[in-house]
Structures are given as C-alpha cells and as structure tokens.
Chains A and B, each alone.
Chain A
Amino acid sequence: MGLDWAWLPQLAHGLKITMELTAACMAMGAALGIVLALLRVYARGPFLPLFWLASAYVQFFRGTPLLVQLMIIHFGLPSVGIRFTPFLSGLIAMGLNTAAYQAEYFRGAIQAVKAGQMLAARSLGMTRVAAIRHVVLPQALRLALPPWSNELIYMLKYSTIVYMIGVMDLMGVARTIAARNFRFLELFSLAAVIYLGIVLLLTFALRWVERRIRVPGLGSAGRG
C-alpha cells in the first residue's frame, strides 16, 4: 500500500482545475449575489417584480440539491438545444447555486448597516444608488466576509461533484487513477489530505484578510 510519485503531476493538474472552478464560481456568485441581495433589500414600487424574482431564485437554488441543479444544466438543457462543456456546466451550476447563498449573506450584511447611514447620505444630497454604492456597500461587504469565507470553503468541497459529469478535477483524477490501478483507499486518502490542506490554508488566509479589513466598532450589534 504505497504511493506512486507518477500520480502527482496528474493530481496537480486536477487540483488546478478544482481551484479554477472554485475561484470562478465564487466570482460569478459574488457578482450575481450582490445584485440579488440589493434587489431583495431595495426593490420597491415599479421594481417590485424584481424583488419577487430574486426571492424565487434564492428559494429555488437554496432549496434544491446542487447535484440536481448540475444535472438539469448538463443533461436537461441539451434537450432544448443548450449544450455546455462539462467544465462550463459545472461552473454555471456552482455559480448559480452559490449566488443564492451569497445573496443571503450580503442581504444580512446590508441590513446590518444602520438605517441612519442611508438617511444621512441622502440628506447630504446623494441619490439612493450613490448612497448604496459609496456608503452601504463598502461596509456591508466587510461585514459579509466571514460568512463569505465559509461559503468559499463550502464551494471548494462541493466542487468534487463535477467529476460526475466528466470534469477531471482533483476528484475525477483520483477516481480515474484509482480505477485503473485498483488503489482506491490510497488515492482517496491522498485526495482527502490534499483537500484538508487547502481548506486549512484558505481558512488561515481568509482570517488574515478579515482581520486586515475589519473596521473597529462596525457591526457589533445586529450581526446574526
């Protein structure tokens, strides 16, 4: 029961795919998540349908399994003519999924910024949009970092799912090598160790970032 060093280049390549996938989906999720959160908090009057749309989106993507979402995108859409490569399907599914969760974290953070701030900004003559952009969001994003970090770790772990549609991420590579050489336990133990290591590194890195951008006195009350 030993390790074959020849496996490492393949595993490294798989790890690269995993990291790319995770990074890309978090970026996509953040962009979409902020938009959804803003809609959920501020959409009113003529924009009310957008509020409902955003809410429905969040409910659906948080209430259904990621694997089902992945299958819908990769195996379901082709029957209506939309076809993605496995990597792209994985990216889209993960991105759409994490956007829903991130929307909730951003929403909580936006709502934690005291209402007085918005009033003050508007009384200075700022438009709503400008106030959101220059006053609320900078603070909200700082507040949202801890749950966002958790979400990043979550997504890194869930990225393993894409091997089922043929993406050769770390999990896909591990499984392929294991099947070829009948060495399942070694390879999955190795994969487990690698994932743990990355999770540990990321956790420390994110905590460091959190400390650096923290604004003293901000967000001590009302944070759930």
Chain B
Amino acid sequence: MTVESWIQVWYALPVLLRGLLVNLELLLGLLALGLVVGMAVALVEVYAPRPVAAAAVAYEWFFRGVPELVLLFLFYFGPDQFGVQISAFTAAVLALGFRSSAYQSQIFRGAIQAIPAGQMLAARSLGMGRLRAIWHVVLPQALRLSLAGWSNEFSSVLKDTTLAYGIGVVEVMRQARYLTARNFRLALPAFIAVAFLFLILTYLGNWTIGLVERRLRIPGLEVRR
C-alpha cells in the first residue's frame, strides 16, 4: 500500500464517484418505492379487516426473512420466465425497494399506533370518513413520528445498495473491482476509499434527516416508549 497506489486511486476518484452516483440513484428509487408500499402495508395492517391484515403480515415476513441477495437474483432472473426483460438496475430497485417496504411498514405501524386512538374518534365525530381521517389527521403525525426510525433504515439501505454489484449493476463496488483487476496493488486503497465515501454519505444522510426531524417537530408529540 504505497503512496503511489493512493495517488493512483485519487486520480481514479471520478470513476468511483460515477459509480457512487448509481448507488445514490438506486437508494432514491428504492426508498421511494419502500415508502409508498410500506405506508400502504402499514395502513392495511392497522386498519384493514383481519384476513387482509394477515396477508400484509405475511408479506412483511417474506421480505424480511429472505436474504437481500436472493431477492436480487429472484427479481433479476424471475421475470425472464414470464418473458419480461428487466435491467439489473430495475431489478435492484424492485428487490431492495420491496424489502425496505417491509421494514418501513414496521416503522410506520409503530408510529400510527403511537397516535392516541382519541384522535381518530375525534376526527370521525367531526364527520370525516375513515380515509379522510387517516389522510388528514393520522398520516401527518405518523410521518413525523417515523423520522427517527427512518434514519436507521436509511443508513441500512445505503449500505445495502452495494449488494446490487452481485447482479451486475455498475455501481461503486464494481468500479473499484475494475481498478483492482487492472492493478491489484490498488485494491486496499481503493476499497478503503470506498469505505470512507460511505462513511461520509452516512453522516450526511443522518445529519440531513436530523435537520428535517428538528424542523418538523411538534412539541409535545413524541413516541412514548
């Protein structure tokens, strides 16, 4: 691990950053998917009749129990059997997104259930339909309460984006491997550099979420643990 190898990695930084951009795109896509689906699943689990809620629980259990890599491969090779071709990137967004939705639904469910039942009663007594009550009263509060747990999920999936390497997505790990294949002496500095890039991203992300949390905080509204 000579000074020269570090200098070479420095010059290769643009290439690594290009790969990191793919990780970030993947992150945004899967978090968005996870948010939408996770919210839906949480709502179903809390408000829907028993059998439907049970399906939601099964869904959660499946996507939390199957390893990410297996999910990635299933989503990448699965559609071929039905004649649909999807790119590795799309497969990664779907696989990691649905998995994230299972974890996010837990966070949302906890937040929804932390809101006093009286709120829903009050909303309905004002004549709001169930859906309107959920949309205007429960959700805004639940989203705020979820931010803390969401921060954990963010850190977790940021790191999981590297798994997309396994199905061929050209993200930062793959770029680092390319460098290594060309010159094995670059391996240690290159991967350490990637590690630090992730450290920086994790701190930035958590700091941002903390900022958002503080801005949206409503005094008196907290999760009673």
Contacts and interface: CB of A to CB of B under 8 A. Distances in A.
A196 B188 contact: no
B162 A200 contact: no
Interface string B178-221: 00100011011011101110110011000000000000000000
Contacts, number: 114
Interface residues of B, number: 42
Interface in B108-159: 155, 159
B66 A64 contact: no
A76 B188 contact: yes
B162 A191 contact: no
Interface in B49-95: 62, 65-71, 73-74, 77-78, 80-81
A11 to B, nearest CB: 13
Contact of A75 (B1, B68, B191): B191
Given A77-B188, A78-B187, A185-B74, A68 B194 contact: yes
A4 to B, nearest CB: 17
Interface in A22-64: 59-60, 62-64
B32 interface: no
Interface residues of A, number: 41
Interface in A187-202: 188-189, 191-192, 195-196, 199-200
B137 to A, nearest CB: 28
A71 B1 contact: no
Contacts of B190: 76
B69 A161 contact: yes
Contacts of B195: 60, 64-65, 68-69, 72
Contacts of A76: 187-188, 190-192
B224 interface: no
A185 B163 contact: no
B162 A79 contact: no
Interface string A141-166: 00000000000000011111101100
Given A1-B81, A68-B173, A75-B187, A63 B199 contact: yes
User: Most chain-B CB neighbours within 10 Å: which of A68, A184, A199?
Assistant: A68
A188 B163 CA distance: 16
Contact of A66 (B159, B180, B188): B159
A196 B62 contact: yes
A8 interface: no
Contacts of B191: 68, 71-72, 75-76
Contacts of A191: 70
Contacts of A217: none
A171 interface: yes
**Shortest Cβ-Cβ A-B pairs, 5 listed:** A76-B188, A184-B77, A65-B159, A157-B67, A160-B69
